[in-house]
Structures are given as C-alpha cells and as structure tokens.
A and B are shown apart, each in its own frame.
Chain A
Amino acid sequence: MTLSTYALTDSWTMTRRELAHWARQPVQVVVSLVFPVMLLLMFGYLIGGGRGVEGSYIDYLVPGMLALTMAFGLEGTMIAVTQDLNKGVIDRFRTMPMANGAVLVGRSAADMLQSALALTVMMAVGYALGWRVDGDLGAFLGAVGLLLLFRFAMLWIGIHLALVAGKPEMVQAVQILVWPIGFLSNALAHPGSMPDWLGTAVEWNPMSRTATAVRDLFAGTGTEHVGAAVVWPLVLLGVFFPLAVRRFGRLSK
C-alpha cells in the first residue's frame, strides 16, 4: 500500500475510534443533541419573541439556532482535542508508522457526523414547532451544506485553539467567550432592532452571514447572501486549517 492509502485507512480507523467512544458513552451523545434543542425551545417560548423580526418568529429562529449550534460546535471540538492531547495515547500514535494527520481527520469526521445528527434532530423539533421549508429541495440541501461548511470552519478553529492553548483551563475561557460571540449575531434577533454600532458588528459576524443565507434558502426567497456564506467559512478555513496542521506537526519539537 502507498502512503496515501494509509492516510485513508488510518483516518477511517481514527474515525471508528471516535464512534467507538460514542457507543461507550451514548448518554453524552444524547446530551450533546438535547442541549441545542433546549436552547431552541427556550428562545422559542421562554425569552425570545424575536426583536425586530417580521413574520413568523419560528421561521426566523430555527435557521438562526441551526447556525448557532454549528458555532457552538467549536467548543466541543476544542474540548475533545484538548483531552486527546493531554492523554498519553497521543504519544503512542506518534510513535507508530501511521499517517500524521489521521488523528485530526478522525476528529473532524466524528464532529461533522455529530453536527449532521444535531441538524437533523433540531430540524425535526423545529418542524414540530411549526417551522416550514418553502424553498425547493436544491435550496434545502444548499442550506444544509452551508451550515455544515460553517461547522467545518468552526471545527478547524477549535482544533487550532486546542493545539495552541492545550490546557483544560483555556477550554473554559473559550466556552465563556463563545456565548457572547454566538449571540452577537442575527441568530435570535434582527440587527435592525439593535443600536447602530451593535447592528454593524452583528452583520459582520460570519455566523450572521450563514444564518441569513440559510433563512433565505429555506424560505425560497433568493440566494443573494449565499456568496458571503460560502466565502467567510472558506476564508476561516484558509487561515486555520494550515495553521492547525502545521501546529500539529510541530508538537514533536
């Protein structure tokens, strides 16, 4: 076998390792799926109301919450990578003739799978709450694709932060910071309802771009925001993917 087929089989082996962790801890998996649903219910019924939103709030809220869930995935990735790096097992991986990046690829694959599951569950709950898709199938799939693309960018930021910080204490700091950054978006409220400076910050938040484009696609009201929702995650990936891969390679120094 050549080096590149090893890269594939090793990545698959590492993905299976993550799935084996799921099988061992099904409760954790369920909790990770329930948490965003709870947020959706909370904002839908308890404290939401949708400041500045025209039309049905649930149609505004569900796409926003989907984007928010993808953003919060960053912290899940960071926790998992930090834990892995602080375990002795990483030393064994590094003394084996396995493909270098397989550890990270396994992480990404598992996280993307978890996110796809989370999206499915949340859309099902959203549907039960009255959220409807008016766009065609292509638009629907496009919206899901944009959400996962955004998640993929968050994933590599999470990996990079874990590699740079590398300590459980830093994870806590990021966990706290993720909240204001997540809410400083148009996920829950329309920027028009905010003070000007805040509205501008919110509009610039990459997450808002994704949320807006996804809303339009689900509603079938156009694709003018799709460009930004594709470009922003790609820019983030362009920065953090090479940084993370380089950082991982340097661990042995």
Chain B
Amino acid sequence: MADTAITVEGAHKKYGEKKALDGLDLRVARGTVHGVLGPNGAGKTTLVRVLSTLLRPDSGRIEVAGHDVVTESRAVRVRIGLLGQHAALDEELGGRQNLELFGRLYHLGARHARVRADELLERFGLTDTGRKAVRQYSGGMRRRLDLAASLITDPEVLFLDEPTTGLDPRGRAEVWTAVRSLVGGGTTVLLATQYLEEADQLADRISVVDAGRVVADGTADELKAATGGDRIDVVLRDAGQLGAAVALLPFDPAGVRVDTDRRLLSAPVTDRMAALSGVVRALQEAGIEAEDVALRRPTLDEVFLHLTGDDRRVKEPA
C-alpha cells in the first residue's frame, strides 16, 4: 500500500502489569500530518518510541515507510526523524557541531554533512549561534536545533512527541511554523500531543488515544461533529442566577453544562438562530442580566473529554 506511511495493527506493549499499548491500530496516509491526541499516560510516547525503533513491541504488525520496525529496523531508521519530548542533542557541542555529527552518522560524508548543517542552520534561523554550546541555548532555539537534526536526511516520516511542551508561546509558534513548512515537502508527520489546540492547528487527521488504544479517529471537524453539533454559551452577570436560568431556558437539562467560576452555562442546540433569539428573550423577560451570549462549534477539548469518558472535569456539580 504505497500511500500508507505508517501502519499499526494490534500493537501491544506491557511494562510489568501496565498495558501501555493495548491493541492499538493506526493508519497514516503519506504526506499528511496525523495527530495522536491523548492525556498523559495514554500511550502516546510508547507508540512513538515503538514506531521510531527505540522500543520493541510485545506484539502487533508495525510498519513505517514500508518496513517492519522490528525485523527491518535499519531500513526504518534511514527513513525517519524523531523529535522526542526531551532534546536529543549533544549539549556540550555547538549547533553546527551537532548537525555535522549527526550528518556524518547518517553517512552523508564530511563535505555533504557540512553543507547540510549550514542549510539547516539557516533555515531554522540558527546561523549566528557561533560556537555557543547547546547547553546555553534558550528552550525555543534548542527545540529548533532538535527539529533541524531530525530533518538532516529529509526523512519520509517524522515523529514529533509533544514538540512544544515546556516552551513559551513564542517558542511554540516557532515550532509550529517550522512544522507547517515541512508539510509542503511531502513529509509524513506523526504528532503526539496533549494540546488540543496543537492538533487542531497542525493535523489533517486526529486519532484520540486513551489507555493504549485509539478511541476515535477523524478530521478535527468530524470529531467535533461526532460530539454533537453546535453549542450556545451564556455568561451571566451573577453566578447565583445560573440555576434559575437553567430552569428557565428551553434546553434538555441533561446536555447543559454549568461552570460557576466563569458564570457560564453551555447547552447543545439544533436550530442556531431560534435558540439564540429564544435565549435572549427568555432572559430579558425574567430580568436575568447576561454579559455574553454566543453560538459556537464544540472545542476539541469537549470532543476529547467526551471521548475519553472523563467529562466530569468540565461539568460543575449542581
């Protein structure tokens, strides 16, 4: 299957009694960005480590770029790049030294490794780092150099494991820009993240992972639609009136969520305009003051919490 870059069928991996991967299936089309979304401990990192030949799975058929990760790990390694959770760089050496070192270990030859290092430093805005050791880099610079190191051979498949964890907003934006620029080049990207916004921003398709298996799969829009269409958010001036407002408004109480801290009530709607005018009128008649009334699509947060069966965190006990 030439247009599939990653195939995972029934992957299992146990650490002692804990099942990190529990029959995980995944198929990633060539040239796409595929988000793997899940909470901490869902098995994302284990999946990335298995796919990048760092970890041997207990069972399952796992192919990357057309090669089996266990029996043809060398062929896989020629074709992949990895940006792990922690910087995989030689902290004592400078940026150029790192890239040249990795280039040589990819067997580019001394001259080609040097040229490639220059190209990548330029592309990631690291040309003027001089001899400075990576140890002294800022978080964003380190991440960019790490990403550059993952791209030395223009890999067919790139794994990103929580690429922006621990970065400030500026560092995050830098990494996102860099990832977007890759996608045009035909690289397949597997992005493991716990940030819904990140998956929403970068991924063509998303697999939601929980307890070592995929619990939902689709585009961001499909996943949002699956959670149940549009919602209306009403923010009141006085949190004490939330209960009265819920009783007053024409919604099925089962779908209503209340957040006292934010003085917010949120409910699913079918007819957008009728719901909007109905809410405004009902509130006015009852003399309940609203600060904001808005229609919106569900966020990936809601999708995620809905799918992983843990939406108690959003719902406030009445």
Interface residues of A (CB under 8 A from B): 1, 6, 9-10, 13, 17, 20-21, 24-25, 87-98, 102, 252-253
Query: Is B269 in the interface zone, CB < 8 Å from A?
Result: no
Contact, CB under 8 Å: B89 / A92: yes
Chain B interface mostly helix, strand, loop or mixed? Answer: loop
Number of interface residues of B (CB under 8 A): 29
Which of B54, B78, B101, B149 touches A94 (beta carbons < 8 Å)? Answer: B54
Given contacts A88-B84, A95-B53, A96-B102, 11 further A-B contacts (CB under 8 A): A9-B104, A20-B92, A88-B86, A88-B87, A92-B102, A93-B105, A94-B53, A96-B105, A97-B107, A98-B106, A252-B55
What are 28 residue pairs bridging A and B, where the CB atoms are less than 8 Å apart in the complex? Answer: A9-B104, A9-B107, A17-B93, A17-B101, A20-B92, A20-B93, A20-B97, A24-B93, A24-B133, A87-B90, A87-B91, A88-B88, A89-B88, A89-B90, A90-B88, A91-B84, A92-B82, A92-B102, A92-B149, A93-B105, A94-B53, A95-B80, A95-B81, A95-B82, A97-B74, A98-B105, A102-B105, A252-B56
| A20→B88 CA distance, assembly (Å) | 18
**B-side contacts of A91, CB under 8 Å:** 54, 82, 84, 86, 88
Q: What residues of chain A lie closer than 8 Å to B133, measured between beta carbons?
A: 24
Measured CB to CB, the nearest residue on chain A to B75 is: A97
CA distance A91 to B83 in the complex (A): 10
> For the complex, what is the distance from the CA of A17 to the CA of B91, rounded to whole Å?
12
On chain A, the residues within 8 Å of B101 by CB distance are 13, 17, 20
Contact partners of B78 in chain A: CB under 8 A: 97
Chain B residue, CB-CB nearest to A91: B88
Residues of B within 8 A of A88 (CB): 84, 86-89
Would you call B88 and A13 a contact (CB within 8 A)? no
Interface residues of B in 106-154 (CB under 8 A from A): 106-107, 133, 149
Question: For residue A98, which residues in chain B have a CB less than 8 angstroms away from its CB?
Answer: 105-106
Q: Is the CB of B53 within 8 A of A252?
A: yes
Q: How many contacting A-B pairs (Cβ < 8 A)?
A: 71
**B contact residues around A9 at 8 Å (CB):** 104, 107
User: Distance (Å) between the CB of B108 and the closest chain A CB?
Assistant: 11
Q: For A90, what are the chain B residues with a Cβ–Cβ distance below 8 Å?
A: 88
* Also in contact, A1 and B107, with CB within 8 A (given A91-B84, A252-B53): yes
Q: Which residues of B contact A25 (CB under 8 A)?
A: 92
Answer yes or no: B77 CB below 8 A from chain A CBs.
Answer: yes
CA gap between A6 and B133 in the complex, in Å: 28
User: Are A95 and B93 closer than 8 Å at their CB atoms?
Assistant: no
Among B74, B93, B105, contact of A13 (Cβ-Cβ < 8 Å): B105
Is the Cβ of A10 less than 8 Å from the Cβ of B88? no
Query: In whole angstroms, what is the CA distance A10 to B53 when docked?
Result: 19
Q: Tell me if A95 and B92 are in contact (CB < 8 A).
A: no
Residues of A within 8 A of B80 (CB): 95
Q: Which residue among B52, B78, B101, B133 has the maximum number of chain A CB atoms within 10 Å of its CB?
A: B101
Query: B107 — which chain A residues lie within 8 A by C-beta?
Result: 1, 6, 9, 97
Which residue of chain B lies nearest to A100 when distances are taken between CB atoms in the complex?
Answer: B74
CB distance from A13 to the nearest CB of B (A): 5
Q: Are A95 and B89 in contact (CB under 8 A)?
A: no
Hey, which chain A residues are within 8 Å of B77, CB to CB?
95-97
Please name all residues of chain B whose beta carbon is closer than 8 Å to the beta carbon of A96 when the two chains form the complex: 77, 102, 105-106
**Contact (Cβ within 8 A) B84 A10:** no
CA separation between A92 and B77, bound complex, in Å? 10
**Inter-chain contacts of A95 with B (CB < 8 A):** 52-54, 77, 80-82
Fill in one digit per residue for B50-63: 1 if any A CB lies within 8 Å of its CB, else 0. 00111110000000
Q: Which residues of A contact B106 (CB under 8 A)?
A: 96-98
Q: Give the chain B neighbours of A93 by CB distance below 8 A.
A: 105
User: In the assembled complex, which residues on chain A have CB atoms less than 8 Å from the CB atom of B54?
Assistant: 91, 94-95, 252
- CB pair A24–B92 under 8 Å, yes or no, is yes
Which residues does chain B contribute within 8 Å of A17, judged by CB atoms? 90, 93, 101
Hey, which chain B residues are within 8 Å of A13, CB to CB? 101, 104-105
CB distance from B82 to the nearest CB of A (A): 5
Instruction: Report the separation of the CA atoms of residues A25 and B90 in the bound assembly, to the nearest whole angstrom.
Output: 14
B15 CB to nearest A CB, Å: 10
- A164–chain B nearest beta-carbon distance, Å: 19
Task: Give A88 to B162 CA distance when docked, in angstroms.
Answer: 14
Q: In the bound complex, how far is the Cα of B90 from the Cα of A95, in angstroms?
A: 15
Residues of chain A lying within 8 A (CB to CB) of residue B53: 94-95, 252
> Which chain A residue has the least Cβ–Cβ distance from B107?
A6
From B82, B105, B133, B149, residue with most partner A Cβ within 10 Å: B105
In angstroms, Cα B87 to Cα A253, docked, is: 21
Docked CA distance A248–B235 (Å): 59
